[in-house]
Amino acid sequence: MDNKKEVLNTVGNGDAKGLFDLIASKVHVDQGKEILSDLKDSLIDNIQDKSKRAVDFLHSLKKDKIRNLERLLDVTKKDLKKSDKKTYFYMTAAGRTVLVDRDIWGDPCTVTVKEANKVVIRLVKFFNDRPFLFPVFNEKSVTGDIIFMDEDEIWYRNKDEATLVLFKNDVPDFLNIKLNNTKGLNEKQLLKYLENCKMLYLEKRLNNLLLVERKIGIENIVTIRNGYVIYKNTDADYTVLLFDNLKNLYDEFTLKKVPDLSERAMDVLFSEDIVEYIKSKGYSFENFKEDNDYLEYWQNIGNKRVCVMRCRF
Give the tens place of pLDDT for each residue, 295-307: 999 999 989 999 9
Q: Note the pLDDT tens digit of each residue in 256-308.
A: 999 999 999 999 999 999 999 999 999 999 999 999 899 999 999 989 999 99
184 pLDDT band, cuts 50/70/90, is confident
Mean pLDDT in residue range 132-160 = 94
Looking at the structure, tell me whether residues 181 and 101 fall in a common domain: no
Lowest average pLDDT, out of 4-8, 14-18, 106-110, 290-294, goes to 4-8
Whether the pLDDT of residue 20 is over 70: the answer is: no
Looking at the structure, tell me whether residues 159 and 92 fall in a common domain: no
- Domain-embedded: residue 63: yes
Looking at the structure, tell me whether residues 41 and 86 fall in a common domain: yes
Whether the pLDDT of residue 12 is over 80: the answer is: no
Name the 3-class secondary structure at 237.
coil
Q: Which residue has the higher pLDDT, 79 or 64?
A: 79
Looking at the structure, tell me whether residues 77 and 177 fall in a common domain: no
Q: What are phi and psi of 138, to 5 degrees?
A: -85, 105
Which pLDDT belongs to residue 27? 52
Looking at the structure, tell me whether residues 144 and 127 fall in a common domain: no
Which pLDDT belongs to residue 10? 44
Which residues are CB-neighbours of 285 under 8 A, at least 6 positions away? Answer: 240, 255, 259, 269, 278
- Domain-embedded: residue 195: yes
Looking at the structure, tell me whether residues 109 and 126 fall in a common domain: yes
Max alpha carbon distance in the chain (Å)? 121
Q: Note the pLDDT tens digit of each residue in 35-77.
A: 656 666 666 656 655 555 544 434 555 788 899 999 999 999 9
Number of domains in the chain: 2
Task: Quote the CA–CA distance of 40 and 202 in Å, as a whole number.
Answer: 62
Domain of 195 in residue numbering reads as 140-202
At 249, which amino acid appears?
A: L
Which pLDDT belongs to residue 155? 97
Beta strands in the chain (DSSP E): 80-83, 87-91, 97-102, 108-115, 118-127, 130-135, 145-150, 153-157, 161-168, 171-178, 221-225, 228-232, 238-243, 249-255, 289-291, 294-301, 304-312
Which pLDDT belongs to residue 70? 95
Mean pLDDT in residue range 186-215 = 95
Looking at the structure, tell me whether residues 131 and 168 fall in a common domain: no
CB atoms inside a 10 Å sphere around CB 107: 14
Going by C-alpha positions, the residue among 108, 60, 121, 115 that lies closest to residue 93 is 115
Q: Note the pLDDT tens digit of each residue in 170-183.
A: 999 999 999 988 88
Contact 133, 127 (CB under 8 A): no
